[in-house]
Structure 1
Amino acid sequence: MCNYCHTPFDGPPPPACPQCGAPYRPQQKVLKIESPAGQAALFGICEELHGAFKGQNRAWLSPNIPLTKVAKLAFFFGLPIEEKMILAIDLSPSNLDVGFIVTCEGLYFRNGNGKRAHLNWSTFLRGPIVLRGSTLTLAEGIMVNLAPTSNPEYAMGFFSELQKLFRAK
């Protein structure tokens, strides 16, 4: 299975994903938030972050996400049906061009150029977060193009705060 777009492979993995072109990387042990205590801690972090975005009508926190919004967000971000959406944040001036979804598996994001990606918790917690212009660089050099029309500083603050709170819990 592709680590980025989750396209399944038939037989041995190819050097690159036939769907998105991402280079194949063997599956590594991934941190998942599976225990009730871990999920409660993650929900607490998301609840704190939700407060910063709530007044702008661009943040949705589980369980108060309308089903129509859940379906739209899952489609736009490529969220697998079996993953539970905890927090969704839209950082774009128009609907869902740039944003993030927090799940127990990790982060899903949509770049300003319309590309979607997934970043598991293990990878997210591994490295620094750097903002250069409108490009946010996360762990292992994973880059998120935030498009000049979005608010890169806000996104930087979101990721930094999430990482800091996550490590403290």
Structure 2
Amino acid sequence: MGATSRYGWAYPELFDPPNTAAHIKTALENVEATVGALDDKVATPIGGEWRDARSNPALNTGANKLVFATNVVPANGLTFNGTDTWQCQTSGPYAFFGQLRSNAGVNGGICVGATSYSDATHIVPFLGFTNGTDYAVSGVANLTVGQQFCFYFYNNGAATSINNGLRNAMAKVWRL
């Protein structure tokens, strides 16, 4: 019996004795093993989604960690503390997406950064906005085991509440 170069699936060679039933069985078992492994990989969640479900939290001027009380989809490779901080459990590349809606008159931006806010610790750079609309920030970064991060809203204006200034905040993170 020969074998395919990519998956190693067995197939009969021209000089093999004919045995159609055995050859078909071997081929189907090979396909089943490959598809089963793919099913297992696809069935494992690789990303997570969180939504801010708070009622009127205060947003101070400057950096504010966004709190995501609702975990819609759990994430593989990350742990979440239930409020505002994620920690990497599996090193590698991760994709980030943050979204929110602001009302007219709100000026600021969103980013992904380390647990202490600093321009130098941004993982996904700051995206600024003015005068209210839907905003999103996205990017890819390599994380290492133990690395922590948060999603931030940076408020350039006066202190406000999230319902008066921001709403529908959402975070998505997935391992690539």
Larger Rg: 2
The TM-score, its normalising length taken from structure 2, stands at 0.25
The TM-score, its normalising length taken from structure 1, stands at 0.26
